[in-house]
Amino acid sequence: MFFHTVIACYIVGSFFVMGISAYHLLRKNEVDFFKKSFKYGLIMALVATTLTPFIGHKNGTYVTSVQPAKGAAMEAVWETEQGAPFHILQIPDPDNERNLVEAISIPKLGSFFYTNSFNGEITGLKDIPADERPPVNLVFYSFRIMVILGLLFLAIAWYGFYLDRKDKLIDSPKYLKTTLYSILLPYVAINLGWVVAEVGRQPWAVYGLMKTAEGVSPISLSQIIFSLSGLVIFYTILIIADVYLLIKYSKKGPDALEGVTEGGMKHVS
Ligand code: HEM
């Protein structure tokens, strides 16, 4: 989880650098500077997006072994099965404990994804008491979209590498626009990952030992409202300041560095 989360943050950072560089390259601002910064972002994106599916897979097999209900919900597996297939197209129907659609299936791949063995056994949700299952749809779709985004980031990074090798990066406005419009997507993927991890282990706070409901502290509603409002107000102010500064300095480009010495100290003029 630690490595997956840290590398996910590198994807956020690298896509941010590529997107802002693309913004300036599209306007032909400081082309040499932003070509270079795009490449720095691209190198990081290539490493991070290539590692992510492997580390994510390792995460998936581990989490399925210790939190089987989460693994079953991530893939909407209802029956315990050995050598389970992977359905590229799948629509779960939790009310009827089945999948409404299972199409374009690849034999045994589901078992491989979750157990590292093509004949491994995946525990189905029907073998887990109904009150010990997480909300299937939320976990399933969050997981699917996170993985689809991960594959999209991989494709964007490697296509960028291909264009760069051909020296066609700045002559590809469509590609530059794609990277610009992709800036927010890694943030979405990170939050979906968090939903998978946290909603996926419900109703447990400590899996199999202590339910989340048992962890509720005996505090009053007014205390909760007070602390929650404080957090919401504080983080709203922070995010407004953060977005404002990011946009301001991203638009400025290298001009933002005016008056900055090599050591990073700003001259007071
Ligand atoms: C490409 C394929 C991917 C796979 C197979 C994968 C797999 C997983 C799995 C199995 C978990 C749940 C782990 C647990 O509950 O212990 C997880 C969580 C997470 N994933 Fe992914 N993931 C992928 C892509 C991504 C991408 C592209 C991002 C973001 C850029 C991302 C960010 C996260 C985060 C932040 C968490 C949870 C962190 C937390 O605990 O709050 N993942 N991922």
Token pair listed for 49? 């997006």
pLDDT tens, 195-227?
A: 999 999 999 999 999 999 999 888 999 999 999
The Å distance, Cα 139 to ligand 1 centre, comes to 12
pLDDT tens, 5-47?
A: 999 999 999 999 999 999 999 999 889 999 999 999 999 999 9
Listed in sequence order, the residues at least 6 apart from 200 whose beta carbon sits closer than 8 Å to its beta carbon are 63, 67, 69, 70, 73, 74, 134, 139, 143
Contact 176, 49 (CB under 8 A): no
- Counting as low any pLDDT under 50, the low residues of the chain are 267-269
- Total number of domains constituting the chain: 2
81-82 and 204-206 beta bridge pairing: unpaired
Q: Which atom of ligand 1 is nearest to the CA of 63?
A: 16
Token pair listed for 148? 């689809």
Answer whether 63 contacts ligand 1 (Cβ < 6 A).
Answer: yes
Are 23 and 124 members of one domain? yes
The Å distance, Cα 30 to ligand 1 centre, comes to 36
Predicted local distance difference test score (pLDDT) of residue 250: 86
Are 179 and 221 members of one domain? no
Are 196 and 237 members of one domain? no
Are 132 and 23 members of one domain? yes
Find the domain containing 221 and state its range. 217-269
Radius of gyration for the chain, computed over Cα atoms and rounded to the nearest angstrom? 23
Are 183 and 251 members of one domain? no
Helix (H) or strand (E) holding 99: strand 98-106
Are 209 and 223 members of one domain? no
The Å distance, Cα 4 to ligand 1 centre, comes to 6
- What is the pTM assigned to this prediction? 0.90
Contact 142, 196 (CB under 8 A): yes
Please choose from 1, 3, 4, 46 the residue to mutate so as to test ligand 1's pocket, defined by most ligand atoms within 8 A of CB: 4
pLDDT tens, 21-30?
A: 999 999 998 8
Predicted local distance difference test score (pLDDT) of residue 260: 62
Are 132 and 163 members of one domain? yes
The Å distance, Cα 147 to ligand 1 centre, comes to 8
